[in-house]
Amino acid sequence: MPKQGFLTPKAIANRIKSKGLQKLRWFCQMCQKQCRDENGFKCHTMSESHQRQLLLFAENEEKFLDHFSEEFFDTFMELLRRRFNTRRVHCNVVYNEYIQHKDHCHMNATKWETLTEFVKWLGREGFCKVDQTEKGWFIAYIDRDPETIARQESLAKKEKLELDDEERTQRFIQRQVEKAAENKTDQDTGQEYTELQREEGEGLVSFNLGQMAAGTASKTDPASSKQKGAAGEGKSDAVSKDGKVQSRWSNPLKDSQSVKRKDGNSGGKSGKRKSALEEIIEEEERKKKAKVTHTQNWLTEGIVVKITTKRLGDRFYKKKGVITKVENMFTGIVKMIDSGAKLKVDQLHVETVIPSPGRMVAVVNGPHRGQQASLVTLQEEACSVVIKLQTGPMAGKTVSGIPYEDISKLAPQET
């Protein structure tokens, strides 16, 4: 029977059927042929071309198995890294996306018989984090790229510094609260409270307004005081032996305030103390002003830096150089110390160098940017240093708490 033409209905139907993804068990990896049903796969295994491929496979089985296994592993891991990265995901989700590609390497041609066995092997070899739950096996890609690891370490260090700042803030707030509580207890101990007592036969309780209350009443308006005295003859106001007015309408709060004015505790502004909340607000404002002084660019001519990227080659990785010129604020020309080669690098691909105590450094960021100083000591727990400024208006002053990223070793002057 002659072969069907390209535009015949049968040929078109065959192309439509073969366009989609077929059943994986009817695929021959050696011949790269996909069959549509069991009968077609049986006919293919009995064909002469398939028998020749089996003879080639029999000559070196391990070579073909290793090749197919390596191809399956590389493609699977590339999909896992690109699609899911380090997220935890079910292995079947990744495998279903992997087999959507029609020309993928099938698992029945590899050394792993099942997907579970392949996932266990990934966990044993350390390529992925593997855990088993009631819903099945979950995997998470482990990114071992040096740049990614360095970025994660820098983020972890930054988070640690932020946590340290929060802890310091909490300790500061706690100290202010304790100080306010102590001041309150001191003020409370300075006052004595007594019970209100009345004598027998006395129906009203009288309060002593004091000399100040009587003086203020006489100074304000003598006529009104006389009218008040005439109008209040029927009330139980009384005058004591020493001439002080006693009235049942007096306010004990005003009495206490008058006593405080006499003592001078709540006088002018000079004696007023700041509350804990005001001190906290001032401290936060000082921190905000300090943060404003930090800029995104820190490259400075004459400092020693270290190359942190492998894109320039292994010969320059982790090697030190001197910034000879700064271009566009974020790009610099680096002259390598060991080889003398000149490189054009971005600010993201270098880091500052911390020398030993006693050496000269340049402040590249922060409120003292542009100044030269000598390194006094390292504060490893806080990832900061203590420096002594040598130039500028604050020369001779010792400053602590300078982050590692804000200083760098100063290159020796060429003679």
Range(s) for CATH 2.30.30.140 in the chain?
146-164+296-353
- Is the model more confident about 250 or about 94? 94
Q: Using the structure block, give the residue that is written with the tokens 């304790």.
A: 178
The mean pLDDT of 230-251, rounded to a whole number, is: 46
CA atoms within 13 A on the CB side of 380: 2
Q: How far apart are CA 16 and CA 126, in angstroms?
A: 43
Determine phi and psi for 350, rounding to 5 degrees. -135, 165
- 111 Cβ neighbours under 8 A, 6+ residues apart: 65, 66, 69
Range(s) for CATH 2.30.30.30 in the chain?
354-409
What pLDDT shows up at residue 33?
72
pLDDT band at 233 (very low <50, low <70, confident <90, very high): very low
pLDDT in tens, 101-159: 767 777 777 888 888 999 999 888 888 899 988 888 999 988 877 777 777 777 777 77
146-164+296-353: CATH number:
2.30.30.140
354-409: CATH number:
2.30.30.30
pLDDT in tens, 52-62: 777 777 777 77
- Is the model more confident about 141 or about 26? 141
Could you tell me if 128 and 179 are in contact, meaning their C-beta atoms sit under 8 angstroms apart? no
pLDDT at 321 over 60: yes
The one-letter amino acid code at 133 reads T
Q: How far apart are CA 398 and CA 374, in angstroms?
A: 9
Q: Candidates 1.10.10.2030, 3.40.47.10, 1.40.20.10, 1.10.1040.10; correct CATH number of 19-141?
A: 1.10.10.2030
pLDDT at 256 over 50: no
pLDDT in tens, 282-306: 877 776 665 556 788 888 999 999 9
pLDDT at 375 over 90: yes
What pLDDT shows up at residue 21?
61
Tally of residues, the chain: 415
Mean pLDDT over each residue of the chain, to the nearest integer: 75
Count of C-beta atoms within a 10 Å radius of residue 393: 7
pLDDT at 68 over 80: yes
Helix axis angle for 252-263 and 210-220, nearest 10°, is 100
What pLDDT shows up at residue 225?
46
Between the alpha carbon of residue 219 and those of residues 120, 213, 214, 281, 298, the distances in Å are 97, 10, 9, 43, 70
The enclosing H or E element of 374 equals: strand 372-379
The mean pLDDT of 231-236, rounded to a whole number, is: 44
Between the alpha carbon of residue 86 and those of residues 81, 120, 131, 142, 183, the distances in Å are 7, 17, 14, 6, 54
pLDDT band at 197 (very low <50, low <70, confident <90, very high): low
Highest mean pLDDT among 68-72, 190-194, 251-255: 68-72
Q: Which is nearest to 80 in space by CA: 127, 125, 43, 112?
A: 127
CA dihedral of 390, 393, 398, 404, whole degrees rounded to 10: -70
Q: How far apart are CA 255 and CA 336, in angstroms?
A: 80
Q: How far apart are CA 247 and CA 233, in angstroms?
A: 12
What pLDDT shows up at residue 282?
80
pLDDT at 308 over 60: yes
pLDDT band at 388 (very low <50, low <70, confident <90, very high): very high
Range(s) for CATH 1.10.10.2030 in the chain?
19-141
Could you tell me if 363 and 387 are in contact, meaning their C-beta atoms sit under 8 angstroms apart? yes
Number of H helices, E strands in the chain: 11, 18
What pLDDT shows up at residue 286?
72
